[in-house]
């Protein structure tokens, strides 16, 4: 459907200052002093406009400088680059949203301020709402403080329990080491040389005593005395019958 | 040229040009007249076109703002606008394009659902204005708005750029964080 588009242009200078003074009717003398003022304002306005337009063009040029790479890159690099760019976009979007929220907040607060200045502050519903909000905030702060204190107490109790546990652990460890030491001492004692020599001495003494006893026995028997009648003799002989090693 | 680019010409001194694209000639003419009646410090130029692409033999100034006018009563105007959108460079949509919807007042005559145009504006990330161009008062109001937008898009308002305005015009219903 090839339609020939029709176009019309409608132009009209809406401000006499913009169109200039050429072809205008002769001005009154009082208006002539206003003309340089108008020209000055026009020049200032044009200056502001050109500045703004220059800014726009500059920003477009800056935006166009960041070109996408033309050379052939590996898939992974391209994907990484795409991710980076997307992250950048997200960051900028988020920052912008935050700034917008801040702006909205400022606007709201100024509007609220102006509203409060106008109306009678004591009787409005807004003040009631704000007072209620303040009360609730105080309550919130109090309960938060209480919960914080309770948490602190809980933390202290837990700490103490931990300390006690650690102390008991230490004590049990000590007991164990002591027991082990005792066992070791015992074991070492049994194998020490001192004991062996003492044992040998003991054996020798026992043998000497046995020999002496046998000598006494033989003496008494050899003397042909009647040892059964005398109690002391009987005792000695009978005693000497015992095997000393079994004593 | 087959594609309209926003910054390929030098701006005229103290001049701002708006291009109104739409099939309803009478409404466009009335809107143009209302806009020219507005009190504005800069010189205004209003171009009217039925559709794009514009004929290349005409010497025209740099176009600062394009407004596509869609009448909800006729599907043809929507199709016309959609086809014309292909002849606009992508960089134009950074705040220098707007959609103006007319005819929403008479619900019975609407053949296009307003959600269609809302989706269209959302796709092109451009501001959407609703106005009944046949009523004098509404037309004057929207003419005022358009004149202000035009001044900003032409760079005549120091400190505000077209992109700034675009961000400010986003309502809270379609936040900027919507996915691409």
Q: Where are the domains of chain A?
A: 47-118, 123-191, 193-240
User: Is B124 a domain residue?
Assistant: yes
Contact B28, B100 (CB under 8 A): no
User: Is B179 a domain residue?
Assistant: no
CA distance B55 to chain A (A): 7
User: Is B31 a domain residue?
Assistant: yes
DSSP A9: E
Q: In this predicted model, what pLDDT tens digit does every residue of A220-242 receive, in sequence order?
A: 778 877 767 777 777 766 766 66
- State which residues of chain B have pLDDT below 70: 1-2, 171-180
Taking any CB pair shorter than 8 Å as contact, residues of chain B touching chain A are: 7, 11, 13-14, 32-33, 36, 38-55, 58, 60, 91, 154-159, 161-162, 167, 175-177
User: Is B7 a domain residue?
Assistant: no
DSSP-based three-state secondary structure for A21: coil
| pLDDT for residue B19 | 92
pLDDT score of A26 more than 60:
no
| pLDDT for residue B68 | 93
| pLDDT for residue A129 | 87
Q: Are strands B43-49 and A7-12 parallel, antiparallel or unpaired?
A: antiparallel
CATH number reported for the structural domain that contains residue B95 in this entry: 3.40.50.300
Complex-level ipTM: 0.77
Q: Least CB-CB distance to B44: which of A14, A55, A97? A: A14
User: Is B128 a domain residue?
Assistant: yes
Q: Least CB-CB distance to B54: which of A3, A5, A100? A: A5
CB pairs under 8 A between A and B: 98
User: Is B2 a domain residue?
Assistant: no
The CA distance from B74 to A174, in Å, is: 97
Q: What's the domain count of chain B?
A: 1
The CA distance from B144 to B36, in Å, is: 10
Q: In this predicted model, what pLDDT tens digit does every residue of A185-219 receive, in sequence order?
A: 988 877 777 888 888 999 999 889 888 888 887 88
> Greater confidence, A11 or B67?
B67
Contact B18, B46 (CB under 8 A): yes
Q: Which residues on A lie below 8 Å from B49 (Cβ)?
A: 5-7
Q: In this predicted model, what pLDDT tens digit does every residue of A147-165 receive, in sequence order?
A: 999 999 999 999 999 999 9
| pLDDT for residue B4 | 80
pLDDT score of A5 more than 80:
no
DSSP A173: H
As beta bridge partners, residue A50 has none
| pLDDT for residue B9 | 82
- Residue A9 phi, psi dihedral angles, 5° rounding: -120, 130
pLDDT score of A32 more than 80:
no
C-beta atoms of A5 and B53 within 8 A? yes
Q: Which residues on A lie below 8 Å from B36 (Cβ)?
A: 10, 12, 14
Which structural domain, as residue segments, surrounds residue B31? 15-168
3-state SS track over A122-136: CCCHHHHHHHHHHHH
| pLDDT for residue A107 | 95
């Amino acid at each position: 459907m090839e339609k020939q588009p029709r176009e019309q242009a409608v132009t009209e200078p809406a401000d006499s200052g913009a169109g200039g003074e050429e072809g205008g009717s002769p001005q009154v003398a009082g208006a002539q002093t206003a003309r340089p003022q108008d020209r000055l304002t026009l020049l200032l306005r044009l200056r502001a406009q050109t500045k703004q337009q220059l800014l726009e063009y500059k920003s477009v040029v800056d935006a166009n400088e960041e070109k996408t790479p033309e050379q052939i890159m590996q898939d992974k690099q391209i994907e990484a680059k795409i991710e980076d760019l997307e992250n950048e976009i997200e960051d900028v979007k988020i920052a912008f949203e935050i700034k917008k929220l801040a702006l909205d907040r400022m606007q709201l607060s100024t509007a609220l301020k102006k509203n409060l200045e106008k109306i009678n502050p004591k009787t409005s519903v807004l003040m009631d709402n704000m007072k209620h909000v303040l009360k609730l905030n105080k309550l919130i702060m109090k309960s938060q403080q209480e919960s914080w204190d309770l948490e602190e107490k809980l933390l202290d109790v837990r700490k103490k329990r931990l300390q006690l546990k650690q102390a008991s652990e230490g004590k049990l460890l000590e007991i164990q080491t002591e027991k082990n030491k005792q066992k070791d001492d015992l074991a070492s004692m049994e194998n020490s040389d001192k004991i062996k020599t003492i044992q040998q001495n003991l054996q020798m003494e026992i043998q000497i005593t046995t020999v002496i006893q046998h000598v006494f026995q033989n003496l008494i028997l050899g003397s042909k005395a009647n040892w059964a009648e005398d109690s002391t003799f009987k005792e000695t002989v009978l005693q000497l019958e015992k095997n000393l090693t079994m004593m | 040229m087959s594609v309209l680019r926003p910054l390929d010409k030098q701006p005229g001194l103290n001049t701002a040009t708006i291009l109104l694209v739409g099939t309803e000639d009478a409404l466009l003419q009335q809107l143009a007249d209302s806009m020219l009646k507005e009190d504005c410090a800069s010189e205004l130029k209003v171009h009217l076109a039925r559709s794009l692409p514009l004929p290349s033999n005409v010497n025209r100034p740099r176009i600062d703002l394009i407004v596509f006018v869609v009448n909800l009563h006729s599907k043809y105007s929507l199709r016309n606008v959609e086809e014309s959108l292909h002849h606009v460079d992508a960089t134009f949509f950074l705040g220098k394009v707007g959609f103006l919807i007319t005819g929403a007042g008479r619900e019975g005559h609407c053949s296009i659902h307003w959600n269609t145009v809302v989706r269209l504006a959302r796709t092109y990330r451009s501001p959407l204005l609703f106005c009944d161009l046949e009523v004098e008062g509404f037309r004057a109001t929207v003419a005022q708005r358009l004149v202000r937008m035009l001044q900003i898009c032409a760079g005549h308002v120091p400190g505000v750029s077209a992109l700034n305005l675009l961000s400010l015009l986003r309502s809270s219903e379609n936040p900027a964080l919507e996915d691409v």
